[in-house]
Chain A
């Protein structure tokens, strides 16, 4: 059967347009704010001519740079740790019945259910009463916790769909548990792991309420910095740093893609 015919069978009409529409919808505000990062005036909505002054301001503003770097580090570490923990949990709980599984499920998804301000205040009270001094570590811990459900659910969704016969086939071939896991399960899980990691990453990058409550002196994250600007007015400086973050993320993706080309395709 020719490739063209296969593609035809797999496609549903209109799906491509919806996907394209999705991307346009997601990127329209991004385009808007990138354009206004070059605005000469202080407004984020009234154009007064083109200028690079806000980029210059960002490059001279070590506070905003430090905040952005902090956010990126925290998000990367939190997402990675959360994904690893979530992977363990997903492997243990999917297609597996054991006592207390409902409690386990409730616990894993608990961070999702608690309103952010409650998590924020409760964590603050908890850390201080235990004598844990606020700082970078407390932000990281809090982030890892609320990232876990975001990593867990996509991994579990992936795992649930996986063919259980693959595992018993591996067992039939006398593969050890570890071999079955690393050679079969893990490679097949990759899209789930990537999805989980990405979701955990973006949720951590965006967090403001929890971070602001449990951060110590000297540890500011980018959202904290941005929200702090609200009282005296947001300037295109925020647009400038956002554009720089976007460029950074795109570069990262390109680099990852280039590196991957050397590896095998799944």
Chain B
């Protein structure tokens, strides 16, 4: 009986292991982030078979790559993560700035804190993390973090916060006017007190904020812009709000990990994604901005003008936050543990 099990297993394995043919591209990215027709377009143009694997968090991806588990050609990583990957020598220097389509990259994305001069990474999509508010229920000035930390009576008990250490603490820091990547125990003590006071009015710490907002369980929430747009489609009274104290910006980038098996295909893909019509496909699919000039012409009607993708003129600029020092990370973790205890 055991012999049969072994034989069966071997047969199954032989069938299930993918045949590595000439011309492959292995992409490791977030789920639902890569439009199928983009994949088909690339496959046809370059005669390459594209395989997409998804991760659920940057940390899972980092752990796998760091352990030496290879096999990926393209990895999509957030700004702070790219910084880490460059520092730890995990990605190839593919000289994006020398690629033909580099001229299409919007100037403000060329010299970024995580990759000055763009030697390692190219823009994929970018967005912001701010507030989403039900304008039918929340009155008064909503462009401020007061709605989160000093809410009106009807808002108390109906606030949703993202389940992310950094996002939550950053918002609290902005409200208190203390710096990001904070290493000061005094500052963080104030942050903790603020968050603990707020906790009584918080319904949930849930990163899936669309459902609570659409169902009315929460009327104020932290949120990402693209997802908020989807929420607004289901409930028109929801508005994406840019608080005057500031909000977080983030950018997902294309990188090529060290030891990528199909380096040429990877570079071709990076260049491919800097063409405006291709970048626009990502925006249309995921509902986030891309970093490529001229892509607005190819985006869905109304998408590039949507309030979620184009902040109003008086809104502050998004704040891109680098990876914080280990002392800071440790402080944040302690605050988070005490908050949720």
Contact = CB atoms under 8 A, between A and B. Distances in A.
Is any CB of A less than 8 Å from a CB of B in the complex? Answer: yes
B247 interface: no
Contacts of B54: 220, 224-225, 227-229
Contact of B8 (A77, A208, A231, A234): A77
Contact of B64 (A213, A218, A231): A213
Interface in A188-203: none
B270 to A, nearest CB: 18
A133 B68 CA distance: 10
B332 interface: no
Contacts of A70: 16
A44 interface: yes
Given A42-B234, A217-B51, A232-B286, A227 B71 contact: no
A228 to B, nearest CB: 3
A134 B32 contact: no
Interface string A228-263: 111111110000000000000000000000000000
B258 to A, nearest CB: 14
A45 B211 CA distance: 7
A227 B69 contact: no
A37 interface: no
Contacts of A220: 53-54
B45 to A, nearest CB: 20
B301 interface: no
A124 interface: yes
Nearest to B67: A128
Interface stretch (A1-9, A106-114, A135-143, A171-179): A135-143
B32 A77 contact: no
Closest 5 CB pairs of A and B: A228-B31, A228-B54, A217-B71, A229-B31, A227-B56
A42 B231 CA distance: 10
Contacts, number: 119
A231 B34 CA distance: 13
Contacts of B207: 230
Contact of B32 (A46, A219, A229): A229
Interface string B204-234: 0001101100110000000000110010011
A217 B63 CA distance: 15
Contacts of B52: 63
B211 A43 contact: yes
Contacts of B233: 42
Interface of B: 1-2, 5, 8-9, 12-13, 16-18, 26, 28, 30-33, 36, 51-56, 60, 63-64, 67-69, 71-72, 207-208, 210-211, 214-215, 226-227, 230, 233-234, 286
B215 A134 contact: no
Interface string A42-53: 111110100000
Given A208-B56, A217-B72, 20 more contacts: A41-B234, A73-B12, A77-B12, A81-B9, A128-B67, A134-B64, A134-B69, A135-B17, A140-B13, A213-B60, A216-B69, A217-B51, A220-B54, A225-B54, A228-B31, A228-B55, A232-B32, A232-B286, A233-B208, A233-B227
Nearest to B212: A45
Contact of B5 (A84, A128, A228): A84
Interface string A23-60: 00000000000000000011111101000000000000
A215 interface: yes
A189 B208 CA distance: 45
Contacts of B211: 43-45
A155 to B, nearest CB: 15
Contacts of A73: 12, 16
Contacts of A127: 69
Contacts of A234: 208
Given A218-B18, A218-B26, A213 B63 contact: yes
